[in-house]
Amino acid sequence: MSDMLEQIRTLGDQLRWARDLESPELTPNPEVLVGGMGGSGIAGDYGAALAGPTQGRVSVQKGYGPLPGWVRRSRPTVIAASYSGNTEETLDLVGAAAEEDLPIVTITTGGRLAELTSENGWPGITVPSGMQPRAAVGYMAGAVARSLTALGILPDQGAPLAEAADLADSAATEGSETWDMAHRLAVDLVGKVAIVYGGGAISSTAAQRWKTQINENAKMPAWWSAFPELDHNEIVGWETLPETTRDLLGVIALVDEGDHPRVASRLSHTSALTESAVPWLAEVRAKGDSELARLISLTVCGDLVSYLLAIEAGVDPVPVETIEKLKELLAKD
């Protein structure tokens, strides 16, 4: 069961690979649509979080085609991210993009997506293979970031990738502050459903990553939400079943310096108003100077929580058998 931990600990090297990657030659475009699913699709969310309020727009589509209606007017560059290269939803989206004659960039290890890239002469980035897709987030997100730089949306990410890589190495070391925090949270979450809250581009994207990693590594339910939206609905969801939620759920808040100043007030008041119905286990603050480093700092902590929670539960974090069974059933349909 230690294999997933070793994969988590390769994140620093993955980011260094992306730092040294030669950016593809792309025609600048202020409009980008990233398509991908699961551990590959999260790379698009990372790219959108990093882009923030730039001169361009980075949208993410997780699912099949058709493409959103705005693409016919805006003509975005489509970045297709599939670690395996065989993700059926992403291949369907690529087909729809090709029918519209949109510029396409691919990020994959191989599979059908690599074949289409070669057949059509599309620019593509080949990432190293041999990992669980969810553990290859540094490769995939780094490749997306380098593509966004080539498209003129992000500034050069060399220095942020280097900072994030060093931070990932230190954070994933047993006995580090991040490791100790992750271990405490894993112990506190035993027997509970994790609810992860974010409050801005960086912290909310990380919250989504925490949720999916707990699902896949610990094989446990979890959900994520974001301020301020959750204060307009979810905050009242704790009122009717406090005897149940108090024992079975636990909230973790992720905090980043880029969150809107009012989010801090909302977090404080929301926790005070709901703590009698649901335990608030911790606030995890992003570390680092660059946005990428801060995102990676929260990523590593969440990845470690999911791994250590799997160990506490006695489950192997690597296999995702139900996902594979679903793929087999879909292949027969």
> Whole-angstrom Cα distance, residue 137 to residue 160?
16
Helix (H/G/I), strand (E/B), else coil: 250: strand
Q: H/E element holding 44?
A: helix 38-51
> Whole-angstrom Cα distance, residue 68 to residue 47?
19
> Is the backbone peptide bond immediately before 66 cis, with ω within 30 degrees of 0?
yes
Among candidate residues 216, 219, 287, 291, the one labeled active-site is 216
Catalytic (active site) residue 327:
yes
> Whole-angstrom Cα distance, residue 251 to residue 135?
24
Other CB atoms within 10 Å distance of the CB of residue 314:
7
Calculate the alpha carbon distances from 290 to 11, 12, 247, 275, 302 in Å.
17, 15, 38, 33, 19
User: β-pairing, 104-108 with 222-226?
Assistant: unpaired
Helix (H/G/I), strand (E/B), else coil: 284: strand
Other CB atoms within 10 Å distance of the CB of residue 75:
13
Among candidate residues 22, 232, 328, 332, the one labeled active-site is 232
Helix (H/G/I), strand (E/B), else coil: 129: coil
Residues labelled as active-site residues: 216, 232, 327
